[in-house]
């Protein structure tokens, strides 16, 4: 068998395996929740926060997974990504076209939020922004300062879980 035929045969034999790997990788990726980081060690949450100069910014924060501690509300044997005291909770369905001016959280409260339906574009005066879509977490930490805007990004409304937590 000459070299060209050997090369062609090896390509033909390897291609299905390569496709299989690609398929498996795609399947694994599909199984990976949108909110997990690449190596699945942390939840990535989008974030608004205010610096000491009173300016509000948007970026992301990682909540790293740790074993559930004794006395935790997380069941034994599970990985805890976020745990803390809470003040209140609600699920809020915003109507289509919702748009806010710059606003802050209630003083001394942050919000852990999760988007169920729709998309919200969140922006700060410094030009940073993010879009929060279904299956994504956000940590709203600007309880003072310039604040942020939230705009319905699809025109179809959006529905979010809000859990108010004490500001750290």
Closest approach of another protein to the CB of residue 154, in Å: 7
In the sheet that 120-123 helps form, which strands lie side by side, from edge to edge? 129-132, 120-123, 149-152
Examine residue 166 and tell whether it contacts another protein (CB under 8 A).
no
Q: How far is the CB of 43 from another protein (least distance, A)?
A: 6
Tell me how many residues contact another protein (CB under 8 A): 56
Least CB distance to another protein at residue 49 (A)? 19
- Judged by CB under 8 A, the stretch of 3-11, 18-26, 52-60, 109-117 that binds another protein is 109-117
Of 23, 24, 91, 108, which one interacts with another protein (CB under 8 A)? 91
**Burial (Cβ within 10 Å: 0-12, 13-18, ≥19) of residue 42:** middle
Q: How far apart are CA 102 and CA 123, in angstroms?
A: 9
**How far apart, in whole angstroms, are the C-alpha atoms of residue 137 and residue 15?**
39
Q: Which of 149, 164, 148 is nearest to 113 (CA)?
A: 164
- Window 123 to 152, contacts with another protein (CB under 8 A): 134-135, 137
Tell me the window of 1-9, 15-23, 124-132, 158-166 that interacts with another protein (CB under 8 A). Answer: 158-166
- Of 73, 76, 83, 8, the closest CA to residue 43 belongs to 83
Distance of alpha carbon 69 from its chain centroid, rounded? 24
Which residues are at the interface with another protein (CB under 8 A)? 31, 33, 35, 43, 63, 65, 68, 72-103, 112, 114-117, 134-135, 137, 154-157, 159, 161, 163-165
């Amino acid at each position: 068998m000459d070299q060209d035929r050997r090369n062609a045969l090896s390509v033909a034999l390897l291609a299905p395996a390569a496709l299989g790997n690609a398929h498996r990788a795609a399947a694994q990726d599909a199984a990976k929740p949108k909110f997990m980081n690449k190596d699945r060690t942390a939840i990535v949450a989008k974030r608004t926060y205010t610096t000491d100069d009173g300016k509000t910014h948007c970026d992301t924060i990682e909540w790293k997974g740790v074993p559930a501690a004794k006395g935790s509300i997380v069941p034994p044997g599970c990985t805890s990504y976020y745990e803390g005291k809470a003040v209140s909770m609600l699920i809020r369905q915003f109507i289509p076209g919702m748009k806010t001016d710059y606003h802050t959280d209630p003083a001394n409260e942050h919000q852990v939020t999760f988007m169920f339906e729709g998309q919200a574009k969140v922006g700060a005066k410094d030009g940073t922004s993010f879009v929060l879509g279904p299956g994504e977490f956000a940590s709203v930490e600007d309880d003072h300062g310039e604040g942020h805007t939230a705009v319905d990004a699809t025109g179809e409304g959006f529905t979010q879980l809000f859990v108010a937590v004490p500001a750290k």
